[in-house]
Structures are given as structure tokens and as C-alpha cells.
Amino acid sequence: MSEYRIGYGEDIHRLGKGDHLTLCGVVIPFSKQAIAHSDGDCPFHAVADALLGALALGDIGDFFPPSDPTTKGIDSSLIVKKAVALISEKGYRVVNVDMTIILEEPRLSPYKKEMRENLARALGIDVGGVSVKAGTNEKLDAIGKGEAIKAVAIVLVEK
């Protein structure tokens, strides 16, 4: 009999001057970038936290603390792969992920297919098990003013 667990994760980053955003490993030309210790890939961080949360393993800060200089600028796909490895050690595998990226701009529709493919690859699952949605905050709060980006993710894992 299978055992299922659900995990929820979210991540938010301030946006500052830059020339690109990295979302699910896709480099998107933009006049701002995420301010972060890592590469600032907010969606990957939300997914990693969801995976860790599904098995009560902590959060990405426990494994990749911002105080660790060796993880400065780290490719966030490695964070997701580490979370997958940790749940695999416990006998679990990823079934699916549903994620929403919230920001006012740029429009993400041209990039969603590649984001899904990159996330599926990092998770080791078929792209059919990966949903990436995008939305705005209707000009409300820091996200709506273009000062931040947020991602939320829900994952289902199975033993």
C-alpha cells in the first residue's frame, strides 16, 4: 500500500536592478533581478521547501544557509536535486508538483514550457506531473509594485 505526503512551500525575493530573472532554470531577460544569496530562483526554492516539508525534514535554510559562503550564487536546481535526494533516502518519490509564480512583469507565458521541462528534469519526473502557472498581484503590495517576486508550490510524494 502506498503512503502519500503533501508538502507546501513558498519563497519571496526582493527585486533590484539587474538584467535577468532566473525562474526554474530559465534565464529571462529583464531590467530587474532577484536579490538573493543563491541565483535567486524563487520557484525552485518554493519546490525544494515543499519537498522537505512533505517529510518534515526542515527547510532549505537548514541545508543551504545564507551564511555559508560556499553556496553563494549556487544554481538552485542543485537545491531541488538535494531535496529530491533527501526524500529518496526515506523511500519516497515525487508524484507531481503544482506551482504558481507571482509577479507583475515580465509575462511568463513564453517561458512556461521550458520552466516545466527544467523542473521535471530536476525532480526526475515526467513533465506531465509538473504544473507552472503565473499570476500578478493586481498592483497590490510589494509584488504588485514590482518590488518582489513570490512562488508557491505544492508537491505530492509517494512511498
Angle of CA points 96, 99, 102, to nearest 5°: 175
Q: How far apart are CA 11 and CA 42, in angstroms?
A: 6
| pLDDT-above-90 percentage for the chain | 85
pLDDT, tens digit, for every residue of 15-72? 999 999 999 999 999 999 999 888 889 999 999 999 999 999 999 999 888 888 887 8
Query: Is it the case that residue 116 has pLDDT exceeding 80?
Result: yes
Mean model confidence pLDDT for the chain: 94
Please name the residue ranges forming H helices in the chain. 42-54, 60-63, 76-89, 112-123, 141-144
Q: How far apart are CA 101 and CA 103, in angstroms?
A: 7
What's residue 155's pLDDT? 98
pTM comes to 0.95
Helix 42-54 to helix 76-89 angle (10° resolution) is 10
Domains parsed from the chain with CATH numbers: 4-158 (3.30.1330.50)
pLDDT, tens digit, for every residue of 138-156? 998 999 999 999 999 999 9
Q: How far apart are CA 70 and CA 34, in angstroms?
A: 19
Query: Is it the case that residue 73 has pLDDT exceeding 90?
Result: no
| HEC sequence for 15-59 | EEECCEEEECCEEEECCEEECCCCCCCHHHHHHHHHHHHHCCCCC
